[in-house]
Homo-oligomer: A and B are copies of this chain.
Amino acid sequence: MQIKVVKNILDASRRIAAENRALFDQHGIYVINLMSSPGAGKTSLVENTIRTLQNDFGIGVIEGDIQDSYDAERIGRLGVPVVQINTGGACHLDGNMIRETFTNFDFAAIDLLIVENVGNLVCPAEFEIGENAKVMLLSTPEGADKPAKYPLMFAESKVLLINKIDLAPYVDFDLDKARRDALAINPDLEIFEISCKTGTGLEQWLEWLRQKIASVKKR
């Protein structure tokens, strides 16, 4: 009897992510993997992003949640294709779950794919799903000590959106410390201060995203 050993399950995960990525590249789709703590405002950001960009670009959305489909219903009202992944307890999305959604999308009509991960500041940062960029939100009520306490998320992200900036005065959020600690972990991190509620700062984020979509645009 021969016993087969999967030496590194992460290798399989990385291979699937690379395959996803190749497929997205082939179709000229820019893919963001959106991550944050629960309740930091991911779905609100997705809504705001779609409303502004949907006249110019084809947008698709994958919603990741442990259970339920509330977020997909919110996004579906905006008239864009959306697929809900229920992880059934798992604390993050992986490349294989993303691949399972592909039959639901017409990739020829999509320029931007937004993947909203499970709300969790730890586990999602460990997994690639085939994204061009990990984008994270930190909301001001969470506190400015989060970069120092959850460094991997900040290290892996290309963009940090500091959300709920309108609440900063009420929660004693030390913006300088958050910026300084985040950049110490990841000097290349793009940081935007935003409020999905008031609209503050969204223009800069959307301009960054427009440029990225253009950079991979369909020929």
Query: A-side interface residues toward B, CB under 8 Å?
Result: 3, 37-40, 65-68, 70, 89, 91, 118-123, 126, 139, 141-143, 145-146, 148-152, 164, 167, 170-171
Contact = CB atoms under 8 A, between A and B. Distances in A.
A37 B39 CA distance: 9
Given A122-B91, A122-B118, A141-B139, A67 B167 contact: no
List the 10 closest A-B pairs by CB distance, nearest first: A39-B142, A141-B141, A91-B122, A39-B143, A37-B38, A38-B121, A37-B37, A91-B123, A120-B122, A38-B142
Given A39-B142, A164-B141, A91 B120 contact: yes
B149 A66 contact: yes
Given A68-B149, A150-B38, A141 B122 contact: no
Contact of A121 (B120, B145, B171): B120
A65 B38 CA distance: 18
A87 B69 CA distance: 32
B141 A39 contact: yes
Given A121-B119, A141-B139, A170-B170, A149 B67 contact: yes
A201 B142 CA distance: 21
A152 to B, nearest CB: 7
Which of A122, A148, A151 is most buried by chain B, counting CB atoms within 10 A of its CB?
A122
Contacts of A148: 68, 70
8 contacts: A3-B3, A39-B139, A66-B122, A70-B149, A120-B122, A123-B123, A139-B141, A167-B171
Contacts of A120: 91, 120-123
A38 B151 CA distance: 13
A12 B126 CA distance: 26
Contacts of A145: 39, 70
A195 to B, nearest CB: 12
